[in-house]
């Protein structure tokens, strides 16, 4: 089977320490790129197309919300996490290029389900466009994000 990897940009100072998230993305066959700041992410977004952007909300030189404008009108989906007490909420900023900033936040468990749906959809879309076939399997998530 000739499928292309889902290209994921992880943005934020602490994102390299999100090993559970990285491991899950790698198990799903994603190609992962890193940016530590808004400026670095903006430059990477100019250089290549990403299927998915996952970001911390507060960045050293701006906010994840500022990245959303560069993704509108593309096929990219973007979520950002916002720390709340001992946990976080995940927010949808852009879904397949459409502004979704008004959608309610998700707890980590809800986000895991949504993330897997997005990954499956992206893999399915790339598989169908590469081979004309519509058969692909979806893995289950076994790790906490």
**How do the domains of the chain map onto residue ranges?**
7-131
Q: What is the pLDDT of residue 134?
A: 39
Does 63 score more than 80 pLDDT?
Answer: yes
Does 135 score more than 50 pLDDT?
Answer: no
- H or E element at residue 84: strand 77-84
| End-to-end alpha carbon distance in the chain | 29
Q: What is the pLDDT of residue 16?
A: 73
What are the pLDDT digits (tens) for 41-52? 999 999 999 999
Residue 137 makes CB contacts below 8 A (sequence gap 6+) with: none
CATH 3.40.50.2300 fits 7-131, yes or no: yes
Per-residue confidence at 137, pLDDT binned at 50, 70, 90? very low
The dihedral of CA 88, 79, 104, 122: what is its sign?
Answer: negative
- Longest CA pairwise span in the chain (Å): 47
Crossing angle of helices 38-47 and 64-71, rounded to 10°: 20
Task: Output the pTM of the full model.
Answer: 0.82
Does 73 score more than 70 pLDDT?
Answer: yes
């Amino acid at each position: 089977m000739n499928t292309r990897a889902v290209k994921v940009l992880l943005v934020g100072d602490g994102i390299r320490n999100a090993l559970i998230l990285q491991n899950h993305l790698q198990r799903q066959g994603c190609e992962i790129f890193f940016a530590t700041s808004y400026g670095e992410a903006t430059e990477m977004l100019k250089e290549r197309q990403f299927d998915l952007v996952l970001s911390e909300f507060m960045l050293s030189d701006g906010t994840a919300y500022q990245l959303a404008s560069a993704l509108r009108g593309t096929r990219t989906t973007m979520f950002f996490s916002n720390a709340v007490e001992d946990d976080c909420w995940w927010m949808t900023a852009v879904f397949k290029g459409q502004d979704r900033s008004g959608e309610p936040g998700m707890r980590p468990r809800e986000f895991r389900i949504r993330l897997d749906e997005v990954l499956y959809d992206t893999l399915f879309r790339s598989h169908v466009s590469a081979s004309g076939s519509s058969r692909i399997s979806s893995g289950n998530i076994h790790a906490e994000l």
